[in-house]
Amino acid sequence: MDESVLSAAFLLFLILDPFGNIPLAAALLRTVPPQRRPRVVLRECLIAYIVLLLFLLFGAPLMAFLELSQTSVGIAGGVVLLLIALKMIFPSGAGLFGDEGGGEPLIVPLAIPAIAGPSSMAMVMLLASREPERLWAWMGALTLATAASTVVLVSGGKLISLMGERGTKALERLAGLILTTIAVEMLLRGIRDFVATL
């Protein structure tokens, strides 16, 4: 497999932040019967995958329709990614997306915006707009990243008991640190492209 596809899949996996979403998923599913929880997580991951796939396939035409440049999307994606990465490193008491109420989650908040959030949507649009001829490769990267995230989220309960809450938080913060550097790189690249057009 192409190294750039694996690199894109790893980046998307970090942005999807399955380790950071484990506590949120556990809190949202606490009133759901244990035997039903894996099916709910699978359904939400599938919904998130379809949403991201739509952004990957139709994000570039949408950008053209709205007259948005690749540079502006890159800078916006970098800003959003930086904000989410900082929240991963310095979490608030309410969690990344606030304290959500009970009941079985449907689409919101687990599929969107926890899994398919603004940064992942911006990233798939960016991949498609930068190299549209490699759309199949980016679809493969998105599929790999979502599949890996689904495995982590489905086995979330076991992971929490195995690694402990502190271990899970440490992994989330490590992912946040990596994402911070990626976000800064995206911002710098966007600013460099903008300066070059002046």
Give tens-digit pLDDT for 111-121.
Answer: 887 788 777 88
Residue 100 has a pLDDT of: 45
Residue of 25 and 160 predicted with greater confidence: 25
Tally Cβ neighbours within 10 Å of residue 85: 25
Per-residue tokens: 38: 């894996």
> How would residue 1 be classed by pLDDT, with cut points 50, 70 and 90?
low
Residue 139 has a pLDDT of: 96
Residue with tokens 């790189």: 185
Over range 77-91, report the average pLDDT.
76
> How would residue 158 be classed by pLDDT, with cut points 50, 70 and 90?
confident
Residue with tokens 């640190």: 177
- Say if residue 25's pLDDT is above 50: yes
Over range 52-61, report the average pLDDT.
89
Where in the chain are the domains? 3-188
> How would residue 97 be classed by pLDDT, with cut points 50, 70 and 90?
very low
> How would residue 177 be classed by pLDDT, with cut points 50, 70 and 90?
confident
Beta bridge partners of 106: 108
- Asked if 142 and 12 count as a contact pair (C-beta separation under 8 A), the reply is yes
Q: In three state form, how does the secondary structure of 149-196 look?
A: HHHHHHCHHHHHHHHHHHHHHHHHHHHHHHHHHHHHHHHHHHHHHHHH
CA distance 69 to 142: 23
Q: Mention every residue, 6+ apart, whose C-beta is less than 8 A from residue 80.
A: 118, 119, 122
Q: At what angle do helices 135-154 and 118-130 cross, to 10 degrees?
A: 160
- Asked if 127 and 138 count as a contact pair (C-beta separation under 8 A), the reply is yes
Global pTM reads 0.71
